Amino acid sequence: MNSKINFKNFILIIIFSIIFSNSVTSGIRTVLIKFLEIPIDSITWTQWGDTFFLHILASLAGTATSAFVVGTFLKNKARLAAIIATVPVFAFWLVVLVSNFFSGQLFGNIKVMLILPSILVILSPAVSYFSAGWGHNFFDDFQRPKSILGIRWYHWLWILSFYLTEVVAVLLYAFLLPWSFDNGVSSSNNLIIDLIVTPGNIIFWIMFLIPAGLFISVSHVYHLLSAEVITTRINWKNGIMIFCHVFLFFILFLFLLVLPIMEQ
């Protein structure tokens, strides 16, 4: 972008940031529901079972990553745009805070009803401000025209709809999975110790190699999407490979997380 603010891009990146943040938070929430075995009937807009700090971290992770993207996109007023993008979250939790404060249920669960929304109301704009500043340090690395993070804008229509949440959830699930085994599977309380002591244990090596493979898959998709396609033949070839990667994450997301959660 040039030195002047393009109002259309300014508004669009704010909308993009809101959707991006929600997708990241949704992916983290899905993993928390699975690992903590939170009953579906205890999931609401404001409460994820008995989670508290994890709920805060998930919300702030979505805010931070989306603000970082804003910083890489806007040359000027990136922090302002990132903070504006937190207005829906800020307003939502402010309404929750005020309504809970004047409700008779406030002292039933003070952490959820009062402290949680208070923390998010205070921290969301601050996290957004500093994350956008960090992202702006990489502004020169993502200057491909009509793109975000080096990916053409039209690709983000399906990435945000069918891929981003799945990537966040599956990658996080894969990284956390080794730590979910008890002593019936592991000979110690730490799988890293098991890897060091018994390097021939194939199960543990597989558990740590799977996340690496998934990360390589995502990296390959990014490489294909950010590459300058020269011919139609290469474009079709890249499209087929991207579809295979996306379909892989969709299947993993469905069978590892969605279906097991529905059965909880």
Residue with tokens 């709809």: 161
Structural domain includes residue 2: no
Domain check: are 73 and 175 in the same one?
Answer: no
Select from 85, 114, 143 the last residue of a domain: 143
With a cut of 90, say whether residue 17 has pLDDT above it.
yes
d(CA 1, CA 143): 8
d(CA 207, CA 141): 34
Q: Which pTM value belongs to this model?
A: 0.84
The confidence score (pLDDT) of residue 100 equals 67
With a cut of 50, say whether residue 32 has pLDDT above it.
yes
Domain check: are 86 and 211 in the same one?
Answer: no
- CB of 82 closer than 8 Å to CB of 125: no
List the domain range (segments joined by +) for residue 127. 7-143
d(CA 130, CA 240): 38
Return the closest-CA partner of residue 27 out of 72, 68, 59.
Answer: 59
What's the mean pLDDT in 12-18? Answer: 94
Domain check: are 121 and 180 in the same one?
Answer: no
Residue with tokens 């983290």: 28
The confidence score (pLDDT) of residue 131 equals 96
Select from 90, 123, 143 the last residue of a domain: 143
Query: In a 10 Å sphere around its CB, with 0-12 CB exposed, 13-18 middle and 19+ buried, how is residue 220 labelled?
Result: middle
Least confident piece of the model among 95-104, 188-197, 211-220, 250-259? 188-197
Domain check: are 13 and 121 in the same one?
Answer: yes
Q: Taking the CB of residue 25, how many other CB atoms lie within 10 A of it?
A: 23
**The total number of structural domains that make up the chain:** 2
Q: Which is higher by pLDDT, 219 or 231? A: 219
- CB of 124 closer than 8 Å to CB of 89: yes
With a cut of 50, say whether residue 171 has pLDDT above it.
yes
Domain check: are 257 and 196 in the same one?
Answer: yes
187 pLDDT tier (thresholds 50, 70, 90): very low
Highest mean pLDDT among 60-64, 85-89, 114-118: 60-64
d(CA 145, CA 78): 17
With a cut of 90, say whether residue 39 has pLDDT above it.
no
d(CA 152, CA 243): 16
Structural domain includes residue 123: yes
Using the Cα atoms of residue 137, residue 10, residue 67 and residue 160 in order, give the sign of their dihedral: negative
220-262: pLDDT as tens digits: 999 999 987 666 666 888 899 999 999 999 999 999 999 998 8
CA distances, 129 to each of 60, 69, 82, 115, 139 (Å): 12, 12, 7, 22, 15
100-149: pLDDT as tens digits: 666 655 445 655 666 777 888 889 999 999 999 999 999 999 988 889 99
Select from 119, 143, 167 the last residue of a domain: 143
What's the mean pLDDT in 148-159? Answer: 94
